[in-house]
């Protein structure tokens, strides 16, 4: 495996990690707000707070990891994406900043405020929408490169069905992933009342998510034929994704084994996300930048991979400890600790 | 806005300065306070004194609110570097990708253990076990300061690569990371974070005592913070001296700008305060003979390079002298106050809790933050006009986008909102739950009088 492939695979794994943990977090914020305005707050609030409080900071790190990593492995991305994404990037930063700090103000500052809750819920849906701009423009056709000057074509971005399709897919997926996780978490905490609420959310967001996935799949065919035909070569991975989706919905519907159901959701997104990413290669930004011409020098690549391995050796036991203490500890989950 | 809307370079500089200036407040607290929490919890265990344990607990509770703002503004600067300085980050990725990447690992490590630490106060039977959880937080916080400062040190003293026709080649990531600027810069940053944290927590205790509280808890907090503060202040002075020697050797133009030192000469005086006239004459300044030569080279006859040796368009603006002086003055003030307090509380019959000294301590917290800002402004503006010293000028690194002005306005609004809310939330947290109240609630002390509530 070449260094380029190792680099992009590492980054893609972290982006996938962010996709899962951030979806849980973003969706939980939305559900928390929604349950508040529909007067079901008492049922959900406790369970969401109990999960999110110890892990919200970790969620943020996954994202930082990805964008610092991509500058390290593929410095040229800074030039193209950095120049083009000033506005959408800054908007994402502002939303992330408001969300993160108001979460802490509300949780640790111990003030139950409607405004804080609204900010937290609304940003939970706006952030995935703004972050997907990066994936959208990577398909090509949204940038003008002229004399080394990169500009983002806002008209093209806002009128393209593909870019809107990606936004809706992201938002629906966030809600589905989050509801599926909270279903598992509520079941584990033996919180029957919360379980009923989130299980209903999971089932009702399943259909929109998979429909949107199909729509985006075909919109991409019109947008970038090369990428689409590469995706067709990996059809079996998408088929696996669909099968996992069916299995997870079936389990939740039958009220069986919510843990396994959530693992199926993770497999569903893992296969689809990796098939999407693999078929995008070698392009980082079609047609300007591939993983080969944007790659860092060899000594930096070796250093980064070494740091990465060392970092993982330290992170994995720590993450395991975090999960054992807060995710898989029956007494903590049931609120006795 | 003010006729600068078409200058992305200037606007990018302003926005970066704004974000970093705001972030550094929370980053400093983020690096320094975990150590103070650890010391307090350790004292609580060693002396079996619940006051210290509660101190650690209350500090940790306030700390996490500031951490949140630190995390989100840190994310902001991380992304903003690529958005505002795409060409710089392209070059930086090739040379200092490693420390940037390692910083995230350190931050990750800290984030995981901070989450665990905060939510396990009453979970373990052994107090020691809970104390051990703060150690990775202290290490993670200081390690992330270490890595990110090596990246900044590289910008001051770039090495570990060859430049051939504008293309970076033969990169050695470790050599880039451990450049001559690294030791002094890193140690200075970390020790001043500790010093500032000690003084900010000391200010809180001093204000409570000034307001008339006679509670033992605040006296213990003041003593703990000021004794640690004295140690950090002395270390800061030693490292500050080494930093001066580093500048003399490797970045003489920065030292000369800080000291308004024009002619290259031996037996150079140190200039304190003063103003600079338009024809570069220093007025109203206090001159200490030979001090600059001693600061720079260790001996009165050390030759100090002057500003006249450099081409005019490679000189930093000379107002950095004011920032430099402010940093040094405040540093000396902090060392004086904390040492005075330490000596007075060590002598049996002296009362260190007298009003004038309390007022001086109370001023120390805000002043130390001013010194942090002044020090960073001196370090960063003192490197002008270079983005990477001697390699890339600032205007070569900036974005070409036309929308930086709008973003600057948005971020001013954002930081104002965040800053104000953070202050309000912190104030309310501790106002609603004063120490006396919490001591009773946790059964550490008996209520002093029966209340009807």
State the SS3 of chain B: CCCCCCCHHHHHHHHHHHHHHHHHHHHHHHHHHHHHHHHHHHHHHHCCCHHHHHHHHHHHHHHHHHHHHHHHHHHHHHHHHHHHCHHHHHHHHHHHHHHHHHHHHHHHHHHHHHHHHHCCCCCCCCHHHHHHHHHHHHHHHHHHHHHHHHHHHHHHCCCCCEEECCEEECCCHHHHHCCCCHHHHHHHHHHHHHHHHHHHHHHHHHHHHHCCCCCHHHHHHHHHHHHHHHHHHHHHHHHHHHHHHHHHHHCHHHHHHHHCCCCCECCCCEEECCEECCCCCEECCEEECCHHHHHHHCCCCCCECCHHHCCHHHCCCCCHHHHHHHHHHHHHHHHHHHHHHHHHHHCCCCCCCCHHHHHHHHHHHHHHHHHHHHHHHHHHHCCCCEEECCCEEHHHHCCCCCCHHHHHHHHHHHHHHHHHHHHHHHHHHHHCCCHHHHHHHCCCCCCCCCCCC
Q: What is the mean pLDDT of residues A279-296?
A: 77
Task: Please check whether residue B185 is in contact with residue B147, taking contact to mean a CB–CB distance below 8 angstroms.
Answer: no
Taking the C-alpha atoms of residue B399 and residue B87, their distance in angstroms, rounded to an integer, is: 7
Query: Is there a contact between A300 and B65 if contact means CB atoms under 8 Å apart?
Result: no
Q: In B, which residues are within 8 Å of A299 by CB distance?
A: 170-173
Spacing of C-alpha B422 from chain mean position: 19
Q: How many residues does chain A have?
A: 337
In this predicted complex, what is the ipTM?
Answer: 0.81
Residue A90 has pLDDT above 90, yes or no: no
| Residue A173 CB partners (closer than 8 Å, separation 6+) | A23, A209, A212, A213, A269
Q: How far is A61 from chain B (nearest CA, A)?
A: 6
Q: What is the pLDDT of residues A165-206, one digit of tens each?
A: 888 888 999 999 988 988 888 888 888 888 888 888 888 888
Residue A5 has pLDDT above 90, yes or no: no
Task: Please check whether residue B399 is in contact with residue B84, taking contact to mean a CB–CB distance below 8 angstroms.
Answer: yes
Taking the C-alpha atoms of residue B31 and residue B67, their distance in angstroms, rounded to an integer, is: 10
Stronger pLDDT, B267 or A326, i.e. the higher one: B267
| Residue B84 CB partners (closer than 8 Å, separation 6+) | A82, A86, B12, B15, B16, B398, B399, B404
Taking the C-alpha atoms of residue A242 and residue A153, their distance in angstroms, rounded to an integer, is: 34
- Three-state DSSP class for residue A328: coil
Spacing of C-alpha A301 from chain mean position: 26
Taking phi over 0 as left and psi of -120 to 50 as alpha, with beta for the rest, B48 belongs to left
Structure confidence at residue B27 (pLDDT): 93
**What are the angstrom distances between the C-alpha of A291 and each of A7, B32, B43, B198?**
9, 40, 53, 47
Q: How far is A156 from chain B (nearest CA, A)?
A: 18
Taking the C-alpha atoms of residue B381 and residue A266, their distance in angstroms, rounded to an integer, is: 48
Q: How confident is the prediction along chain B (453 residues), in pLDDT tens digits per residue?
A: 455 556 888 888 999 999 999 999 999 999 999 999 999 999 999 998 888 988 999 999 889 889 888 988 988 888 888 888 888 888 888 888 889 888 888 888 888 888 888 888 878 878 888 999 999 999 999 999 999 999 999 988 888 888 777 677 788 888 888 988 899 999 999 999 999 999 999 999 999 888 887 788 899 999 999 999 999 999 998 998 888 888 888 888 888 888 888 888 888 888 888 887 777 777 787 888 877 888 777 788 888 888 888 888 888 888 898 899 899 899 999 999 999 988 888 887 888 788 888 898 999 999 999 999 999 999 999 888 888 877 788 887 777 777 888 889 999 999 999 999 899 888 888 888 778 788 878 777 776 554 444
Half-sphere exposure of B259 (CA within 13 A, CB side): 29
Closest CA to B394 of B166, B87, B21: B87
Structure confidence at residue A40 (pLDDT): 66
Taking the C-alpha atoms of residue B174 and residue B160, their distance in angstroms, rounded to an integer, is: 8
Residue B165 lies in a domain: yes
- Can you give the residue range of the structural domain that contains B137? 8-235+384-441
Measure the CA dihedral A56/A58/A63/A66, to 10°: -170
Closest CA to B88 of A69, A74, A75, A291: A75
Query: Is there a contact between B171 and A315 if contact means CB atoms under 8 Å apart?
Result: no
Residue A334 has pLDDT above 80, yes or no: no
Q: How far is A322 from chain B (nearest CA, A)?
A: 7
| Residue A305 CB partners (closer than 8 Å, separation 6+) | A3, A6, A7, A10
Structure confidence at residue B367 (pLDDT): 95
Query: Is there a contact between B64 and A104 if contact means CB atoms under 8 Å apart?
Result: yes
Name the residue among A81, A104, A303 with its Cβ closest to that of B65: A104
Query: Is there a contact between A297 and B168 if contact means CB atoms under 8 Å apart?
Result: yes
Name the residue among A99, A109, A300 with its Cβ closest to that of B98: A300
- Count Cβ atoms below 10 Å from residue A200 Cβ, excluding itself: 13
Name the residue among B123, B173, B403 with its Cβ closest to that of A300: B173
Taking the C-alpha atoms of residue B408 and residue B283, their distance in angstroms, rounded to an integer, is: 37
Structure confidence at residue B1 (pLDDT): 44
Q: Look at the alpha carbons of A302, A303, A308, A313 in this order and tell me if their dihedral is positive or negative.
A: positive
Task: Please check whether residue B186 is in contact with residue B20, taking contact to mean a CB–CB distance below 8 angstroms.
Answer: no
The residues pairing with B169 across neighbouring beta strands, listed in sequence order, are: B162
* Structural domain spans, chain A: 3-333
Q: How far is B392 from chain A (nearest CA, A)?
A: 15
Q: In A, which residues are within 8 Å of B120 by CB distance?
A: 325
Give the DSSP letter of residue A118. H
**Main-chain dihedrals φ then ψ at residue B48, nearest 5 degrees:** 50, 45
Taking the C-alpha atoms of residue B232 and residue B387, their distance in angstroms, rounded to an integer, is: 31
Gyration radius of chain A over CA positions: 20
The residues pairing with A291 across neighbouring beta strands, listed in sequence order, are: none
Q: How far is A36 from chain B (nearest CA, A)?
A: 22
Give the DSSP letter of residue A150. E
Q: Which two tokens mark B274?
A: 């003063």
Give the DSSP letter of residue A141. S
Name the residue among A87, A96, A105 with its Cβ closest to that of B425: A105
Taking the C-alpha atoms of residue B31 and residue B411, their distance in angstroms, rounded to an integer, is: 24
Give the DSSP letter of residue A224. -
Query: Is there a contact between B104 and A60 if contact means CB atoms under 8 Å apart?
Result: no
Structure confidence at residue B452 (pLDDT): 46
Query: Is there a contact between A304 and B97 if contact means CB atoms under 8 Å apart?
Result: yes
- Three-state DSSP class for residue A290: strand
Q: What is the mean pLDDT of residues A273-301?
A: 79
Q: Which two tokens mark A170?
A: 């992201």
The residues pairing with B315 across neighbouring beta strands, listed in sequence order, are: none
Q: In B, which residues are within 8 Å of A328 by CB distance?
A: none
| Residue A202 CB partners (closer than 8 Å, separation 6+) | A176, A179, A180, A182, A183, A252
- Count Cβ atoms below 10 Å from residue A30 Cβ, excluding itself: 21
Least confident of A127-136, A224-233, B74-83, B356-365: A224-233
| Residue A237 CB partners (closer than 8 Å, separation 6+) | A271, A272, A274, A275
Structure confidence at residue B334 (pLDDT): 93
Structure confidence at residue A77 (pLDDT): 82
Q: Which two tokens mark A139?
A: 């398909």
Residue B453 lies in a domain: no
Query: Is there a contact between B112 and A68 if contact means CB atoms under 8 Å apart?
Result: no
Task: Please check whether residue A57 is in contact with residue B67, taking contact to mean a CB–CB distance below 8 angstroms.
Answer: yes
Residue B206 lies in a domain: yes
Tally of domains in chain B: 1
Query: Is there a contact between A97 and B102 if contact means CB atoms under 8 Å apart?
Result: no
Task: Please check whether residue B290 is in contact with residue B300, taking contact to mean a CB–CB distance below 8 angstroms.
Answer: yes
- Three-state DSSP class for residue A294: coil
Residue ranges of E strands in A77-209 = 143-146, 149-152
Q: Given the DSSP bridges, would you call strands B286-288 and B270-272 parallel, antiparallel or unpaired? A: antiparallel
């Amino acid at each position: 495996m070449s260094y380029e492939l190792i680099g992009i695979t590492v980054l893609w794994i972290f982006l996938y990690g962010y996709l899962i943990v951030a979806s849980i977090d973003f969706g939980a914020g939305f559900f928390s707000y929604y349950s508040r305005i529909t007067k079901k707050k008492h049922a959900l609030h406790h369970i969401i707070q109990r999960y999110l409080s110890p892990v919200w900071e970790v969620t943020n790190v996954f994202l930082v990891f990805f964008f610092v990593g991509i500058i390290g492995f593929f410095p040229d991305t800074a030039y193209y994406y950095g120049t083009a994404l000033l506005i959408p990037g800054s908007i994402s930063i502002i939303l992330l900043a408001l969300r993160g700090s108001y979460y802490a103000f509300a949780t640790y500052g111990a003030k139950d405020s409607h405004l804080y809750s609204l900010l937290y819920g609304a940003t939970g849906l706006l952030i995935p929408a703004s972050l997907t701009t990066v994936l959208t423009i990577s398909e090509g056709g949204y940038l003008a490169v002229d004399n080394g000057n990169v500009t983002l074509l806002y008209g093209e971005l806002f009128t393209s069905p593909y870019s809107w399709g990606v936004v809706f897919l992201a938002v629906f997926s966030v809600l589905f992933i989050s509801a599926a996780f909270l279903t598992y978490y509520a079941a584990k905490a033996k919180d029957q009342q919360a379980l009923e609420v989130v299980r209903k959310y999971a089932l009702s967001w399943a259909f929109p998510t998979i429909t949107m996935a199909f729509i985006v799949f075909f919109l991409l065919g019109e947008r970038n034929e090369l990428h689409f035909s590469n995706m067709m070569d990996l059809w079996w991975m998408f088929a696996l994704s669909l099968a996992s989706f069916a299995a997870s919905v079936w389990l939740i519907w039958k009220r069986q084994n919510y843990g396994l159901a959530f693992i199926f959701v993770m497999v569903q997104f893992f296969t689809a996300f990796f098939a999407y990413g693999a078929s995008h290669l070698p392009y980082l930004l079609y047609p300007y930048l591939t993983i080969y011409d944007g790659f860092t020098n060899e000594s930096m690549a070796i250093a980064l991979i070494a740091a990465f391995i060392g970092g993982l050796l330290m992170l994995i036991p720590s993450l395991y400890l975090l999960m054992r203490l807060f995710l898989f500890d029956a007494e903590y989950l049931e609120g006795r600790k | 806005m003010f006729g600068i809307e078409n200058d992305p370079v200037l606007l990018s500089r302003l926005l970066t300065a704004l974000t970093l200036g705001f972030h550094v407040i929370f980053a400093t607290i983020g690096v320094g306070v975990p150590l103070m929490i650890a010391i307090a919890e350790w004292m609580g265990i060693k002396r079996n004194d619940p006051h210290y344990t509660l101190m650690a607990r209350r500090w940790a509770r306030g700390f996490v609110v500031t951490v949140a703002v630190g995390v989100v503004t840190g994310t902001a600067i991380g992304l903003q570097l690529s958005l505002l300085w795409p060409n710089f980050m392209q070059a930086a990725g090739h040379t200092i990708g490693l420390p940037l990447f390692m910083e995230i690992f350190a931050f990750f490590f800290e984030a995981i253990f901070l989450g665990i630490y905060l939510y396990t106060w009453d979970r373990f039977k052994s107090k020691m076990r809970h104390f051990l959880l703060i150690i990775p937080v202290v290490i993670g916080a200081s390690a992330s300061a270490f890595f990110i400062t090596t990246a900044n040190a590289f910008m001051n003293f770039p090495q570990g690569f060859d430049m051939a026709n504008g293309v970076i080649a033969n990169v050695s990531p470790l050599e880039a990371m451990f450049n001559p600027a690294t030791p002094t810069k890193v140690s200075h940053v970390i020790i001043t974070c500790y010093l500032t944290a000690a003084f900010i927590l000391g200010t809180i205790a001093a204000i409570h005592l000034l307001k008339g509280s006679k509670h033992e808890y605040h006296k213990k907090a003041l003593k703990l913070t000021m004794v640690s503060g004295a140690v950090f202040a002395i270390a800061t002075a030693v490292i500050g001296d080494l930093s001066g020697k580093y500048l003399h050797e490797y970045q003489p133009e920065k030292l000369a700008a800080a000291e308004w030192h024009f002619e290259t000469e031996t037996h150079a005086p140190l200039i304190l305060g003063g103003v600079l006239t338009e024809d570069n004459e220093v007025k109203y300044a206090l001159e200490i003979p030979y001090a600059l030569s001693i600061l720079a080279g260790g001996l009165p006859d050390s030759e100090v390079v002057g500003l006249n040796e450099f081409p005019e368009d490679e000189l930093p603006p000379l107002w950095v002298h004011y920032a430099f002086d402010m940093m040094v003055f405040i540093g000396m003030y902090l060392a004086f106050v904390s040492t005075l307090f330490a000596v007075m509380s060590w002598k049996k019959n002296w009362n260190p809790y007298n009003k004038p000294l309390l007022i001086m301590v109370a001023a120390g917290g805000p002043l130390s933050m001013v010194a942090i800002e002044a020090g960073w402004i001196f370090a960063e503006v003192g490197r002008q006009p270079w983005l990477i010293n001697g390699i890339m000028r600032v205007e070569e690194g900036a974005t070409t986008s036309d929308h930086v002005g709008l973003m600057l306005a948005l971020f001013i609004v954002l930081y104002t909102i965040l800053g104000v809310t953070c202050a309000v939330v912190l104030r309310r947290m501790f106002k609603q739950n004063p120490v006396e109240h919490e001591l009773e609630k946790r059964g550490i002390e008996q209520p002093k009088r029966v209340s009807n509530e």
